[in-house]
Amino acid sequence: MKRSIVFKLFLLTSGLCLFILAVIFVGQTVFFKQFYVHQKVKDVKAAFQDYEQDYLNHATNKQAMAELEQDFYQKYNTWITTLDAEGNLKHTDDFFMEIKLDRSDDSALSNKTITVPLYTVINVEDFITDNPFLTPWINEGERIAIAGDFRKLTPLVLMRALAEATTQIYEPIHRFELEIPVDSLSRVLFKLTQASSTYQDPIQNDQVFMIHGMIPIKNIQPFENQLPGWTQGEGVFLSEFHGYQPFNGEVPLCTRYDHNPLNRKEYLLHTLNSM
């Protein structure tokens, strides 16, 4: 009898717990989600009113406008931007072309220069036959340059500029302080020379030598790993960043996984084929 009552209480308690869990699950997946979305939209709308006021106060300051957009995104995880009267993005430094109008039936346009962002230029795929605007300057089948074409040529121009600028490669160096036993001096100095370091004359203090100098950062880890073996575990090496020095030796190269703009022919062939 007692066993039957306990079993029924167990079933009742289990059923009640499952019911509560089901209610919580449904509430979170349905009602809470709708509440969250509604609250999110409400907050963004309220923030948009504040943004509009800030925009009017800083409409002429591009830097301030960029900061406002970034702050809006960070606070509400929502991108916002502004368009001009023609629907173009404002406060962007994209590639553009200038069109000078020599003559026009409209006196307001005569001898005027119009700036057109290249991202607004029509693509070849959008070409429409017998379009009076394009004829006769553009023939069907001809390609029209867009902003993306100029961006693809940027690496080529940059590499050429770097080559003409006669750049100098530098490497980071650390200032170090080294304490070693007297009997390991010659070996450690030899290893410091191998590590391309420069150092001052060692200073003896009782049974140890103190050495101060500079060492390229790329050689610090190998030197530290082997120092205990050279000094019977008694060597102490401390270092901190000091600056940069001109790199001597063969220039290290990174493996490229795309087309190399230093190879003008190969890069142009790839770029033109992908345009």
DSSP-derived 3-state class of residue 181: strand
> What pLDDT, in 10s, does the model give residues 143-197?
555 556 667 777 777 777 777 777 778 889 999 999 999 999 999 999 999 998 9
Q: DSSP letter at 31?
A: I
Residue with tokens 């009742």: 12
What's the predicted TM-score (pTM) here?
Answer: 0.40
Confidence of residue 134 (pLDDT cuts 50, 70, 90): very low
Amino acid at residue number 247: F
Give residue 209's Cα distance to chain centre: 46
Which of residues 1 and 66 earns the better pLDDT score?
Answer: 66
Q: DSSP letter at 201?
A: P
Amino acid at residue number 60: T
Q: Can you give the pLDDT at residue 14? A: 84
CB 30 within 8 A of CB 56: no
Report the alpha-carbon distance of residue 154 to residue 267 in Å, rounded: 11
Query: In this structure, which long-range contacts are made by residues 84-88, counting pairs with CB atoms below 8 Å and at least 24 apart in sequence?
Result: 88/117, 88/120
pLDDT at position 215 over 70 = yes
Report the alpha-carbon distance of residue 110 to residue 102 in Å, rounded: 6
pLDDT at position 213 over 80 = yes
- Weakest mean pLDDT among 6-10, 132-136, 243-247: 132-136
Q: Average pLDDT, whole number, for the chain?
A: 76
